[in-house]
Every structure is written in structure tokens, then in C-alpha cells.
Chains A and B, each alone.
Chain A
Amino acid sequence: MQLLASSMMWGAAAVSIPIALHFFYKARYRPLPWAPMRFLKEAIEQTSRRLKFQEWVLLALRCLALLLLALAISRPASSSLSGTGRGGAIDAVFVLDTSYSMDARDGDKTRLERARAAAAAVLDTLPKGSSCQVITCSDRAALLGPRDKFNLDEARALVARVKSTSLSSDLFPGLTEALAAVKAESNRAREVYVFSDLQEDALNRQQGAVRGRCDEIKKVANLVFVRCGVPGKAVPNVAVADVSWKTEIPHTKTSVPFVVSLRNTGAEPVKGVKVALALDGKMVEKDEIQVDQIDPGQTYPVTLTGGLDRPGVGVVSVTVKGDDLPGDNVLYKTILVRDKVGILLVDGSPKPENPTGSGDHFVKTALNPGKVPNYYIDTETVSAAEAGPKDLDGKEIVYLLNAPVRTTDPTAGLSPDFLRELARFVRGGGGLVISCGDLVEPEDYNKALGSRGAKLLPFDLKKELHAATEAAPFYPAADQVDEASFLGPFRKSPYAEALQRVAITRMLDASGPGGGRVLARTTGGFPYVASKVVDAGEVIFVAGALDEQWGNFSADPGSFHVPLAVFTVTHLTGRKVAGGTETAGTPLVWQTAADPGAAFDLVGPALPDERFRPRTKLTAGPAGPDGRRPVTGTDTGRAGVYHIVPAGKADEAGPIFAVNPDPREGQNVAPPADREVAEWVGFTPAIVQAGAGTETAVENLRTRSEWTEWALLGLLIFLVAESAWAWFCGLAR
């Protein structure tokens, strides 16, 4: 309960009046000399207890009547309902849900349109002298204004301009912001309106925190939920769940099939959904593809084929039409299209006289099993002794194939210069694959590349070898493969079966310190493939040989070595792409070599009716261990293509980011019933349906919630009771 005119409660001091009157009249007793005092005394003794009780009851009734009078003129109102129906000024705070479920069209209008209309209607009901603050809320909140909170026209204009985002619903931040705003208000009547479709995620994602905020708001203001969805009205919705391409490393001069996954998250079938896919804004197929029907809960794959012509990072965008929730009808994904992938093979046992017997032969075969001429994977081989820093130019991946580290012989093994440059290459984002063999000395590797050197090895190597016989070799165990890693496919058929045809007779023991991650183990449980992320790059370590020294090798594309090579190269080259695909609301980070304090712009997607893309100023952060400085953009509430560019540069003069709608928002957009809302928030809230009659509903709510009439009725009852009691007891004179 709250008091709309709390100062009137000073009137409660009037309870002192009957007490004062008691003493006043006591002083005004008429003296009377009296003879039969003993009769009088006896009568008093017989009646005093009853009289005292009657007088106390009467005093209590009179005091309560005065308290009720004070309460009535203080205008008591319910804390959960608005209580400002007597024309007094109101400090209002509007929280408008801008999650993309508010774009759902469950009638002739979208929910956001209803929210805007309802907010304008509530603004019309605010008495003269009232104030209003407008807050937008999705999974984060922002106070829009107005600059002068008493300027209701500006508030009305702000409300009219509110647009949806690609974010999901969570009312907690909005309620928190509203609480702060309402607490800063004066001591007048205060109201907080939440215009939302009240979907479950909005109230339940942080249920305890939302309940707490609601309770806090109720203590200082009246909290009213304005439901903008239509209860019982289903919203047909098909979301673009994913898009993938059927090629390991997208490269130019190829035609790639794109698989679009559409998912019906609604409660009824959706018919006639049209799907379109564009690459860098250009449709990959001339016409949209229409899907006859997608049933509720069904994930429907649609394949579209497009040619990749331009090398570099592009954006694949998928759009669908035909449902009533447009917010999740789009999905963006960055794609790195390569012209060539430069790979340096550093061979520790080159055999010019017998190229097919050298170590690089097997990897070359695995990378290009079809021996396609002018293949996009461009390999260059160099012996370990001859490898120099310049060999790394233009390369994205380096393979160390049974390459020894130079020790005493200055003409053999990897030179320190190369190793030093190799470490810089990896830290800068390059990929390194290390395979073993007879020439790999564990101690030398540990000193040069391990924990005592460049710290590139996932684990330090031990001297002991794991040895097996040809009759009973090790082989990678499918169930020991890290499912979350890029080798995850090896857990499943047909790769899982192929693993059993791998025969490993010898391998190094990579179980020392190093901080790496084991991706696959052999049947004996020994680490076989491990990885370590080193700054921007990554090292893949194979404990065996990638030739036929310590096991067998197969150039069969369906066997182990070819997919291992493809997965590895795909994984390592993918790491080098600046930018990427993110979900709306996620910070976009670009690691740059910029100077301290360098200015950047986050260039967002253009708004529907605007020509220029909006920019947000960014500044490079402090340098990391690798010397690069992160530039972070957080204003990513709308799905689309973003760029982070140096300030003043062209919109696309920087890494590209694809930002997608938060998929959680489209999972359940059905408006809940009042009972469900009450369960989620832990009390029975005041809920007004947005639409025609919002204004009247709000005013009725205010009128109903004020208890003045009830207090006056109580006062009347108390006065009647007081009179009846006084008459009954003879105390009325």
C-alpha cells in the first residue's frame, strides 16, 4: 500500500483530540456535596470495570475513526495497482520491450505498434504536471529520455520512434533501469508501465532477479504490465536456423552447395515459405525457393547452389518470407573464399632421389589426393636444414614433418632463425602442424618448441616411445576423439570405421607439461593428436608420423589421412579470418596493431529507410601479450553486416562481422495467460491489454486501486459503531 497524499497522515495526530477532551472534561466536573457517598462508592465499585471497558472501547473506536479519517484523506492506494485517479501529477516510467518478438504480427498490427499506441494512450491519461521517462529494453536497457522529463510531447515523439532490435527478451535490465529512474523521482504518485508481449523468456530467464526488481518497484511505485500480444493468437514462425556449405575450404572458381536449415518454432504449420540466399548481397540463385509446408518443430533443409568468384571474406545471407515474425527471418554468415592456400612443408627427411619416399609426399597426397593441377592448396617443400624465415612469406600453414631441431651440426635441422620466425608466424595467426618420426628428438623439441622454448608444443615430449607391433598396432580410438574439436567427425561413420584401419607402430609420448588439449587418443589411451592455441595462431601436434615410418598411410579420401589433412587445413585457415559470425548483442572484437588511442568506427547495418550506415566511435584498448590492441564494438543490437574500420575510412575498410538475431527470442513467442505471468513474477500483477480501450483501462485501474472510498466507508462504519456503542452504554451524553 502507498499513500498518494502521505502528508495528510499528520492528521492521525488528531487521535490526541479525544484524549485531550477526556482530560478537558475531567477538569470541568461539576462539584456536588453529597451525603450517601457509601451508596455511590458501592455503585462505582460494582460498575467501574464495566464502565472502564466501555469507555476504552469507545475511546478506541473514536481513535480508530480519526485514524481512518486521516488515512482516507491521505488517499491510500494499492501498491500493485495504479493509484492516481484523482487528478494529481504522476511521475511515469515507460519500459518498452524492443526484442524482435515485438515485431510479431498477431493481428492487424505488430506488437510494437500496439506498444507504441498504448504508450501514447497512457501519456494522454497523465494529468497536467506529470513527467515521463522512456526506457527501451531487450536483454539490455537504455534510457532514451526525454531530456526534460516533463516534456510529454518529446516523450511521445520518442515513443513513436522506438524500433525493435534483433535481441532477445529479458525484462530484468529494463526493470532495473526503471527502478533507478523511479527512485530518482519526487514524492508524487509514481507509475511504471512495462509494454511487452510478456513472453516466458522475458520474465523467466532471470526469474528470481525479475521478482526482486518487481517487489522493489512495487514498494515505491505502481507497476502495470501492458500486454501487447494477443493471448491465444498463434504466431506462425519459421526461423533460419543455420546455413552451411558443402565444401571444406571455400575457394574461387567453384560452385558450392549451401544448405539452409529452416525451423518452424511456432505451433502451427507454415506453408509457402520462400527462401533466398545471397552472397555479398548478390543472389546465388535467380529465384527464391518455395517450401510447401514446414510442420511445427520441424527442421527443414533447403539446398541452394552458388558460385564463388571473389576471393576474400564475404557474407552469406539467407532470408525467408511467409511467416508473421520477421525478426528471425534472416541469417548472416561470413565466408572466407580463398584463391590459394599457401602451405609450407618442412621435411626432415627429404629424398630428392626418391620424392615419393620423402615425408612431404604423403602430406601432399593427403592435401590433393586427386592430384588436381593448379589446385587451390599450394604446397611448397623445403628441407629442415634449409628452411629460413623467408620461406614463411605468403604461407598460412607450416607442416614440420619429422623435422629435427638444429643442435651441434650447423648444416642439419631447423635453424634458430627459422624457429624464431616460426613462433612469430604462429602467434600472428598462422597454423603449425608438427608430426614426428625418427629425427624428432624429444629433448631438443622441448628446448626449442616446448615449455623451455617457444612454448608452441601442446605438451612436452618424453624420451620414451610408445611402441607396438605391426601385428597389433595402435590406432586412433573413435570414442577418444574430442567431439567439440575439428576432429569431431571422426567419432562418426564413416570416419570412425576408417580409424580402425590406421596402424600406428610407434609414437612419442606427449604427456608432459604444456597446457595443450588432447584431441584424439589411440587405443592405448596415449595422446595422438593435440592442439594448443598460441595467441592468434594454433599448433596441431601429431604424436605419430604422417608417413609410413611409424605406421601405415592411406591416400584414400575415405580413410584417415586425407580427412585429417583437410580438417586440419580447414580449421587452421579458418582461424585467420578477422571478423566472423556473431549473435546480436555480442561484442565484436578486432585485434589490431594500431597505435594506442587510435580511433575506429563500428559501421552497422543501414536502417530500412536510411541511406547511410550508422557509425559508432570506438577506441583501441590496451595491448595484449602479442602487442595487438583489441577494438571492441558493443552496439550490435540489430542483425546485419558490421565492419570495424579506422575512423574516417570507407564503410568496408575493415574486418567484416555477420550479426544474427538472437535465436532464443523466436523459440516461444506465444503471449502467456495472466495466470502464467502471475506464477512467473510471484504475485498477481496489474495487466492491461494494449489496444482499443487502453486509456480507459488505465484510468479504471487508477480509480479502482485507490482505497479512499473504502477508508471513508470504514470511517462511516466506525462512526455508526461508535454511536451505537455510546448509546448502548449510556456514554452518548
Chain B
Amino acid sequence: MPTYLKPDVLARAEALGLKARQLVEGLRVGDHKSPYKGFSVEFVQHREYVPGDDIRHIDWKSYGRSERYTIKQYEQETNFACHLLLDASNSMRYGSGATNKLEYAKLLTASLAYMVIRQRDSAGLRVFNTEVVAELPTSSNLGHIHAITHILEDAQPREKTSIGPVLDQVADRTGRRGIVVLISDCLEDIEPTLAGLRHARFRGHEVVLFHVLHPDEVRFPLDGNVRFIGLEGFEELMTRPHLLRPAYLRIVGKYLEDLRRGCDGSGVDYVQMPTDRPLANALAEYLVRRLQTGRR
């Protein structure tokens, strides 16, 4: 299994499924509500019930036989295109090990791609900084996962972030409506980012923003004498961060609030992904929330 496909993450995400909130114009029949009537459902297999599964899919006959909850799985009923946009700018370099933002984002991207393809939808990938540096068109072929993970493994943080133009480009070049998933730390001005997101929404896409942030960037727990070196071209700043913490937290809090409100106002799903939080939990929580809000 490729590096970025963690079994625990995938197991929980797969169980929950990724449902398009809107009607997706699929090329094939899936479990999404399709505008094209008359397609039948094809049973594939049973699997054990896990919390979070829709109880409507429990096979009660099987329960009567084995007294175990099992879920009936079907062949995909319809197909949607999921456009994954991964920010690989220098600002994503921050953090070490599992909490490195880019690594965390790659894992998230791979997980999402895997889930989408496993449920017979198609997924595509664009890695970008100031521009798109790697691109993989949408496909529902299981082998496509490997292509995605290879691109992810090759992705290195470079240059600055430029989300707005990339979103504009994606919105313009994807003819079919689908899901646009932006995975980024969004450390640039809010307004161009929101403009790009709104553009994608305008094109009929469901847009989800996974806002990947390192806990240091949110809680600013730094101490001592620190010489901050800008990852995206700012000059060096020497300071004692604990003296700045109140002001920093106030500024960051306002920024996050503005971004959240901007997303809500544009119909964009905003999901904050602190890298110290296990990806499985964060992803599951998001998917549960989608289910609870009726988005499939």
C-alpha cells in the first residue's frame, strides 16, 4: 500500500463514505441520487457494521442468521469528479514528522482520493504553489490511486502560495460539476482565496476547504529568543514570542474567523485540520458532520 494510504484512516473514511452534497452528474450509476432514473442497484458484498454506518444499510436477514450486524455494500450507482487541490508552497514546509503540514496534507489528499475512487467516483489531483506544478486528471480506476500517491510523494514545497488564480484555473477547466477540495494552509490574503473559492462555487462545484495548520501557528506556544525566518520570503524577525502571544493570537483568531465566515458566506465547507490531531479522527468528524447535515 502506498505511503499515504494509512489503513486506519481509510477504514474509517471508507465506512463513512464520501457523499456529494449536491446532485452529481455521474458518468456511471452510483449511490448518489442521480438525475438519470431507471438504473438498478448491484449488490457486491457484506461487511461488518461500524459506528457511523447508516443503519438503513444493515442487512437484517443476515443479522437473523448470525446475530451480527452487517452492512450490505453495493456497486457504485453513480459517479462524481473530485478535484483535489494540494498546496505545496513553502509555507507548508513547517512542522516536523507527522505534524509537518505538507506531509499531513499529502496524507489527507491520498486518503480522500482513495475513498473517492473506492466508492467508484473519480478523483483528480493538482499540486500547486504559485501555479499548478503537477496535475492528474480525474479517473475512477483503482490504479489511479497509485498515480496520485506517486505525485504526492514527488511533491516538494516550493515558492509562495497563490490560491486564487489556481482555483480560477480549475473552475474554468473542469466542465463537469463535482467536488473541489482545497487542501492548504491559506497563509495569504483572504480575499483572493475567497474569490477563487467563490469562482469554483459559481461553476457549480461543491467546494471543501481543508485548512491545514500547525498547532504552533494557531496556539503560538513558542518561548525564548527566536529569530523567525520567513518561509515565503519575509525578512527575519528577532523577538521573544511569548511577549507577542496575546497580540498574535488575537490576529490569528480574527484571520481564522474571517476565513470561516467568508467560506460560510460562499457556501464552502470549511474544515480546520490542525496537524497535531490524528487525521482519522479529523476526517471522520468531518464526514459525520456531512452526514448529519444531510449531505450525501
Q: Which residues of A contact B (CB under 8 A)?
A: 25-26, 28-44, 46-47, 51, 729-731, 733
Contact = CB atoms under 8 A, between A and B. Distances in A.
A41 B237 CA distance: 8
Interface stretch (B56-64, B125-133, B196-204, B247-255): B247-255
Contacts of B255: 39
B252 A36 contact: yes
B83 to A, nearest CB: 25
B229 A733 contact: no
B243 A34 contact: no
A32 B229 contact: yes
B227 A32 contact: yes
B58 to A, nearest CB: 46
B44 interface: no
A733 B224 contact: yes
B1 interface: no
Contacts of A39: 248, 251-252, 255
Chain A to chain B: the 6 pairs with minimum beta-carbon distance, closest first? A37-B234, A35-B91, A43-B247, A29-B227, A43-B248, A37-B230
Given A32-B229, A37-B237, A42-B251, 4 more contacts: A30-B225, A34-B94, A35-B214, A36-B91
B217 interface: yes
B228 interface: yes
B243 A33 contact: no
A30 B243 contact: no
B184 to A, nearest CB: 11
Given A30-B224, A733-B224, A733-B242, A35 B247 contact: no
Contacts of B206: none
Given A39-B255, A730-B242, A730-B243, A32 B222 contact: yes
B232 interface: yes
A44 B91 CA distance: 20
Contacts of A51: 243
A32 B93 contact: no
A42 B249 CA distance: 11
Given A40-B237, A733-B223, A32 B247 contact: no
Nearest to A35: B91
From DSSP, what is the main secondary structure of chain B's interface residues?
mixed
Nearest to B249: A43
A44 B244 CA distance: 7
Nearest to A31: B227
B239 interface: yes
A729 to B, nearest CB: 8
Q: Which of A30, A37, A38, A51 has the most CB of B within 10 A?
A: A37
Contacts of B94: 33-35
A729 B252 CA distance: 22
Contacts of B251: 39, 42-43, 46
6 contacts: A28-B225, A29-B227, A33-B228, A35-B185, A39-B251, A47-B244
A47 B239 CA distance: 11
A57 to B, nearest CB: 14
B247 to A, nearest CB: 4
Contacts of A36: 91, 187, 217, 252
A40 B244 CA distance: 8
Nearest to B255: A39
B226 interface: yes
A30 B234 contact: no
Nearest to A42: B251
B277 to A, nearest CB: 18
Contacts of A25: 225
Contacts of B225: 25-26, 28-30
B231 interface: yes
Interface string B73-112: 0000000000000000011111000000100000000000
Interface string B192-225: 0000000000000000000000100100001111
A251 B223 CA distance: 114
Interface of B: 90-94, 101, 185, 187, 214, 217, 222-232, 234, 237-240, 242-244, 247-248, 251-252, 255
B227 A46 contact: no
A26 B243 CA distance: 16
B244 A34 contact: no
Contacts of B226: 29-32
Contacts of A42: 247, 251
A35 B93 contact: yes
Contact of A41 (B93, B223, B231, B234): B234
Contacts of A31: 226-227, 229
Given A40-B248, A43-B247, A26 B238 contact: yes
B229 A35 contact: no
Nearest to B229: A33
A34 B247 contact: no
Contacts of B243: 47, 51, 729-731
A46 B247 contact: yes
B230 A29 contact: no
A705 B231 CA distance: 63
A733 B229 CA distance: 22
Q: Which of A36, A37, A730, A731 has the most CB of B within 10 A?
A: A36
Q: Which of B214, B231, B240, B247 has the most CB of A within 10 A?
A: B247
Contacts of B234: 37-38, 41
Contacts of A44: 237, 239, 244
Contacts of B238: 26, 29
Contacts of B244: 40, 43-44, 47
Nearest to B230: A37
A695 to B, nearest CB: 58
A34 B228 contact: yes
A572 to B, nearest CB: 104
Given A28-B225, A43-B244, A733-B223, A33 B237 contact: no
A98 B241 CA distance: 76
A37 B224 CA distance: 18
A35 B215 CA distance: 12
Given A40-B237, A46-B247, A730-B242, A35 B187 contact: yes
Contacts of A731: 240, 243
A326 to B, nearest CB: 82
A43 B234 CA distance: 14
Contacts of B232: 35, 37
Nearest to B189: A38
B74 to A, nearest CB: 44
Contacts of A43: 244, 247-248, 251
Q: Which of A40, A42, A44, A733 has the most CB of B within 10 A?
A: A40
Nearest to B248: A43
A34 B224 contact: no
Nearest to B223: A733
A38 B229 CA distance: 12
Given A39-B255, A42-B251, A730-B242, A33 B227 contact: no
Contacts of B101: 35
Nearest to B217: A36
Given A26-B238, A37-B234, A47 B247 contact: yes
Nearest to A38: B234
A725 to B, nearest CB: 13
A26 B239 CA distance: 9
Q: Which of B92, B101, B214, B239 has the most CB of A within 10 A?
A: B239
Contacts of B247: 42-43, 46-47
A557 B252 CA distance: 127
A30 B236 CA distance: 12
Contacts of B187: 35-36, 38
Contacts of A26: 225, 238
Given A41-B234, A41-B237, A733-B242, A33 B93 contact: yes
A566 B77 CA distance: 165
Nearest to B218: A36
B30 to A, nearest CB: 38
Q: Which of B224, B229, B244 has the most CB of A within 10 A?
A: B244
Q: Which of B228, B232, B239, B252 has the most CB of A within 10 A?
A: B228
Given A42-B251, A44-B237, A35 B224 contact: no
